[in-house]
Structure 1
Amino acid sequence: MVWLVEKDPDGAIVQFWKAINVGDRVDSALKDMAVVMKQQDRAEEAIEVIRAFRERCSKQAQESLDNVLIDLYKKCGKLEEQIELLKQKLRMIYQGEAFNGKPTKTARSHGRKFQVTVKQETSRILGNLGWAYLQLKNFAAAEAVYRKAQEIDPDANKACNLCICLVKQGRYEEANTVLEDVIEGRLVGSNDPKLINRTKELLQELEPWQLLQVHPTPNHGLINLEDAFIEGLDQLINQRTPLRSRRLPVFEEISTFRDQLAC
């Protein structure tokens, strides 16, 4: 099948359809078909296929399908759908349902297997959530999410994104402090060539501030709102007992962010 995907992706999709229709390894067939469709710029179609047939897949396959959907939403620019699914994955972690209840899971990257902890997965999801908010230009919400992700499992990539959030809010001094950790190589990934180039670009953005030492007027209302948001994230990550409410405080705070910043 790997050979068929590489040589004839349309033919591979036909074979995946056949497997799904006869109930043959539906889990892998649906996931692999969606991935091939994405490679062919048929992401919208892949989303509809997953939505239509995921009920035929096992419970163990749902998490993988969610990860594929997140990539497809990102590909299509469906930021609201991406955010909602990322929040759903955070709920699963909070409720102890991630990794099918296990503390770690086996992941693959470039043919290599490795173990991922719930802590690492939480930080990864928060990083993706922060990026989605960044694309929506909701810089305050993105900042709060990135800060929490960095508390859990810091790395240079998220630090650069946090720096962008701060620059967009005119908080250059804080942005410069965040970037120093990357420049000094104190974070995982600091030596990556792509990150080095990003760091240079961010330094160029900060250069006028470094010359003038401009200090923006604090937005106290935004800071207070941010504190409430972070408190909700703390409750999500640290509290073990599920809340009675169907909506966790962190998601209520996200809605509050969106409503108040839209005013």
Structure 2
Amino acid sequence: MEAARASVCKKSPKGKKDDLYHVLHKLPYGDSPYVRAKHAQLVEKDSEAAIVLFWKAINGGDKVESALKDMAIVMKQLDRSEEAIEAIKSFRGLCSKQSQGSLDNVLIDLYKKCGKVDEQIELLKHKVQLLYQGEAFNGKPTKTGRSNGKKFQVSIKQETSRLLGNLGWAYMQKMDYMRAEVVYRKSQIIDPDSNKACNLGLCLIKQGKYEEANLVLEQVLQHKVPGSEDGKTRQRTQDLVLEVRSMLSPQHFSDPLGHEDDYFKGLDRWMNELGPIRSKRLPIFEEISPFIDQLAC
């Protein structure tokens, strides 16, 4: 083990940064507290030792942003989410402006773990407000995201829709189905997908709006919403449709689209209007600005 540690701590010669050991364990090079913390976390699987070293890195100004996020993740795994929340709140001021968005994402995840729904809602509203004001993405139309080690580009409208979807789900945890419905509808206007359509349908069911719920869910079953081909989503949709139809008479099923057809055509027109950014705000925000202003209240 000591030999392995020495291998990590000794920086690989130039041109050999693809060293198999570092690639295999996804380890950075060097002998800093942060590097040793990552070794303890990923190789030794010693979470407590990793936390001690992450603290040392933070206090020593060594990759503070990465150390803070990585430490919070390890703490969450040890059911120390409350401690992780306090750590991020206390030390995020040492981090760059560009890192604040990712720190917010870690906080939201920690709030979920702790069941802090109100805090989660306020932070999600704040993040949506930043997008609306053009203060996110560093003024760019897209940002680079990562998932399972792969990079991908995320647009402002995709990020806005994602945040609104999370906000809708948070409202559902509080059984505030009216606000959840409003949020999910706005999310679907910006960037529709089948999962949020299902959640919107569930919100409508909870409010006794069975006809509206049936119309929304039929869109998924008829493959009119992106992601409708996903097996789990279709099964969930079918289960919800059965629940809805048990509440309705047969006459409601003769025209599955009804007046909602015009609504979805209107969404298409909205989406087609989204062109190159002419200012900090996307055109879609002009359509939903009253709703965004309400979020700030």
Which position in structure 1 is the counterpart of 2:96? 58
C-alpha distance in 1 between matches for 2:162 and 2:285: 16
C-alpha distance in 2 between matches for 1:30 and 1:208: 51
Q: 1:28 to 1:50 in 2, by over 3 A?
A: same
Task: Normalising by structure 2, report the TM-score.
Answer: 0.71
C-alpha distance in 2 between matches for 1:85 and 1:124: 14
Highest RCO, 1 vs 2 (Cα 8 Å, sep ≥ 6): 1
Task: Tell me if structure 1 keeps the 8 A contact 2:223–2:229.
Answer: yes
Letter of the 2:46 partner, please give it.
Answer: D
Which digits, 9 at most, give the CA deviation of each residue in 1:55-92, with x for residues without a partner? 11111111100011111111111111111111111111
C-alpha distance in 2 between matches for 1:41 and 1:77: 13
Which digits, 9 at most, give the CA deviation of each residue in 1:96-140, with x for residues without a partner? 111122111000011110000111111111111111111111111
**Does 2:295 match 1:251?**
yes
State the 1:211 CA deviation.
4.6
C-alpha distance in 2 between matches for 1:88 and 1:237: 18
**Does 2:78 match 1:40?**
yes
Letter of the 1:42 partner, please give it.
Answer: R
Which digits, 9 at most, give the CA deviation of each residue in 1:146-169, with x for residues without a partner? 001000000000000000110011
State the 1:29 CA deviation.
0.4
**Does 2:199 match 1:152?**
no
Which position in structure 2 is the counterpart of 1:5? 41
State the 1:212 CA deviation.
6.7
Which position in structure 1 is the counterpart of 2:16? none
Percent identity (aligned): 61
Q: 1:91 to 1:160 in 2, by over 3 A?
A: same
Between stretches 38-47 and 48-57, larger displacement belongs to 38-47
Q: Which has the larger radius of gyration?
A: 2
Task: Tell me if structure 1 keeps the 8 A contact 2:201–2:213.
Answer: yes
Q: How does 1:34-183 map to 2 (within 5 A)?
A: 34-183=72-221
Task: Tell me if structure 1 keeps the 8 A contact 2:190–2:284.
Answer: no
Letter of the 1:87 partner, please give it.
Answer: K
Which position in structure 2 is the counterpart of 1:238? 285
Letter of the 2:228 partner, please give it.
Answer: S
Question: Structure 2 residue aligned with 1:205, among 243, 268, 292?
Answer: 243
Which digits, 9 at most, give the CA deviation of each residue in 1:212-250, with x for residues without a partner? 779xxxxxxxxxxxxxxxxxxxx995249x99xxxx631
Whichever structure has more helix as a proportion of its residues is: 1
Q: 1:197 to 1:12 in 2, by over 3 A?
A: farther
Q: 1:212 to 1:45 in 2, by over 3 A?
A: farther
Q: How does 1:216-227 map to 2 (within 5 A)?
A: none
Task: Normalising by structure 1, report the TM-score.
Answer: 0.80
Q: 1:203 to 1:175 in 2, by over 3 A?
A: same
C-alpha distance in 1 between matches for 2:286 and 2:246: 43
Task: Tell me if structure 2 keeps the 8 A contact 1:94–1:239.
Answer: no
C-alpha distance in 2 between matches for 1:151 and 1:30: 36
Between stretches 45-54 and 190-199, larger displacement belongs to 190-199
The alignment covers a number of residue pairs equal to 229
State the 1:38 CA deviation.
1.4
SS at match of 2:227: coil
